[in-house]
Amino acid sequence: MSTAQETIYDDEEDLNIDNTKLWPSEIFWREHYHWLKSKGYLLRPRYHPDWVPSWLGSTKFARSFEDCQTRMLVPNNLDAIRIADGKPVMLRLADSPSISDELEIGRLVSTNDMLSDPRNHCVPTYDTLEIPKATNKGKNRITVMPYLVAWDQVDFQTVGEVVDFCSQVFEGLQFMHLHNIAHNDAKNDNIMMDWSPLYPQPPHFHDVVERMDWKGPAKPRKRTLYPVRYYFIDWDLSKVYDAKIRISRVPVRLPGYGGDRTVPEFKRNEPCNPFAVDVYCLGNVIRQKFIEGDPNVDDPPRRNVGFLRDLIADMTHDDPMKRPTMDEVVVRFEEIRKKLSWWKLRSRVSDKTFPLLFHRLYSPIHWIVQLSYILRLKPAIPKHKYSPPQL
């Protein structure tokens, strides 16, 4: 039996605690290793057909080795290196057109006209590869996109950093809606950010606290010093609708789609308008991350973000007809933003669950850092310089 066959994990009942064998979701990538390399994309050593776990015979803990790292929850996605320039990219085994509009939406938001607009925060598609043989689910294309990390992987330090995030995601969803595209799953983990301003070395796909090359910890920098760009991802539920549906807000879709199950229309089991649901879902991301917190993912509520409360309350209103459109959200937020003083923008967004005493004790250190930013002419609201991606 070959080494490749020996490393395939076939029995779901067996224990594979140390990832010595490939999981079922990984086999596709192993089988296409050489084909992807011929197309210009190099997978990690774990997916080479002749892979042998590097920790065999070692007394070290298996998970301290790079080729032990895997994640079964994202079977259709895998990181790779673009051989031409050494740049990390993300590969995605996309839905076929018979299943969703994922490929069409990805193509649409990646046209030159779309990419030239700085309001476009849709993850672009660099390349589309047609695989020699479709999978048993009919998937026969791999899309190549930027390698991104979770938008909240690096903690927010100031109000200005929160304002920058809100501004970008508000205009990003507005941009989609202006083109009559409803995201249909604008939840927390479908927002990502470009890693490159914050990390001197790319973080690992499966363990972002480590560098991709597994030669040390990934040490992020501050958003105020190194402004980042945020992106929406995941088009498998997205659709283009008639402009009348967006404008009239008439319900046209059955409830229950997407990852946010708190949508009031879903709870009432009533038909919904996808654009109004998008507004709710994005508002809920900000509500859970900053205003109320989300104990399910250990996100505490934050201090100094009360200025968001009224707008987010309207975006998450139980009645979809009373929610603002994304055009209205952008206008209202710009008005809010203009009223925030420089002092407020440079204030800390500390964890509300920590006693106020600790917040105040740390404040002198925080303001010394902020003074250094002021002396270096760093804006209170980070300003990312946009340049259209080179596809």
- Tens digit of each residue's pLDDT (9 = 90 or more) over 144-166: 999 999 999 999 999 999 999 99
Mean pLDDT calculated for residue range 235-249: 96
Given this model, what pLDDT does residue 296 score?
Answer: 77
Q: What tokens does 285 get?
A: 């991301």
pLDDT over 60 (residue 341):
yes
User: 127: helix, coil or strand?
Assistant: strand
CA-wise closest residue to 317 among 249, 243, 247, 367 = 249
The domain containing residue 78 runs over which residues? 3-94+126-143
Q: Are residues 12 and 139 in the same domain?
A: yes
In sequence order, what are the beta bridge partners of 78? 91
Within-domain flag for 240 = yes
Q: Using an 8 Å Cβ cutoff, are 220 and 154 in contact?
A: yes
Q: How many structural domains are present in the chain? A: 2
Q: What tokens does 321 get?
A: 């007809």
Q: Are residues 196 and 321 in the same domain?
A: yes
Based on the number of CB atoms within 10 Å of its own CB, is 369 exposed (0-12), middle (13-18) or buried (19 or more)?
middle
CA-wise closest residue to 3 among 30, 34, 32, 24 = 30
Q: How far apart are CA 297 and CA 252, in angstroms?
A: 32
Within-domain flag for 384 = no
Look up the CATH number of the domain holding residue 211. 1.10.510.10
Within-domain flag for 355 = yes
Within-domain flag for 380 = no
Q: Are residues 70 and 115 in the same domain?
A: no
Q: What tokens does 169 get?
A: 């995601």
Within-domain flag for 183 = yes
Given this model, what pLDDT does residue 298 score?
Answer: 79
Mean pLDDT calculated for residue range 363-390: 92
In sequence order, what are the beta bridge partners of 240? 181
pLDDT over 90 (residue 80):
yes
Q: How far apart are CA 273 and CA 94, in angstroms?
A: 26
Q: Are residues 48 and 157 in the same domain?
A: no
Q: Are residues 18 and 63 in the same domain?
A: yes
Given this model, what pLDDT does residue 13 score?
Answer: 41
Q: Are residues 49 and 111 in the same domain?
A: no
Q: Which of 9-18, 54-63, 235-244, 352-361 has the lowest mean pLDDT?
A: 9-18
Q: Are residues 72 and 110 in the same domain?
A: no
Task: Name the packing angle between helices 274-286 and 159-178 (round to 10°).
Answer: 170
- Tens digit of each residue's pLDDT (9 = 90 or more) over 305-324: 999 999 999 999 999 999 99
Within-domain flag for 382 = no
- Tens digit of each residue's pLDDT (9 = 90 or more) over 122-149: 999 999 999 988 887 778 999 999 999 9
Q: What is the mean pLDDT of the chain?
A: 92
Q: How far apart are CA 205 and CA 150, in angstroms?
A: 10
Q: Are residues 319 and 345 in the same domain?
A: yes
Within-domain flag for 225 = yes
- Tens digit of each residue's pLDDT (9 = 90 or more) over 273-292: 999 999 999 999 999 999 99
Q: Are residues 169 and 272 in the same domain?
A: yes
Within-domain flag for 387 = no
Mean pLDDT calculated for residue range 207-235: 96
Based on the number of CB atoms within 10 Å of its own CB, is 13 exposed (0-12), middle (13-18) or buried (19 or more)?
exposed
pLDDT over 50 (residue 9):
no
CA-wise closest residue to 306 among 287, 291, 324, 294 = 291
User: 240: helix, coil or strand?
Assistant: strand
Task: Tell me how crowded residue 265 is: count the other CB atoms within 10 A of its CB.
Answer: 21
Phi-psi region of 304 (alpha: psi -120 to 50; beta: other; left: phi over 0): left
Task: Name the packing angle between helices 326-338 and 159-178 (round to 10°).
Answer: 150
Query: Where does a domain end: 110, 143, 176?
Result: 143
Q: Are residues 208 and 348 in the same domain?
A: yes
Q: Are residues 50 and 83 in the same domain?
A: yes
CA-wise closest residue to 125 among 137, 135, 138, 115 = 115
Given this model, what pLDDT does residue 3 score?
Answer: 42
Q: Are residues 175 and 225 in the same domain?
A: yes
Residue 372 CA to its chain's centroid (Å): 31
In sequence order, what are the beta bridge partners of 210? 217
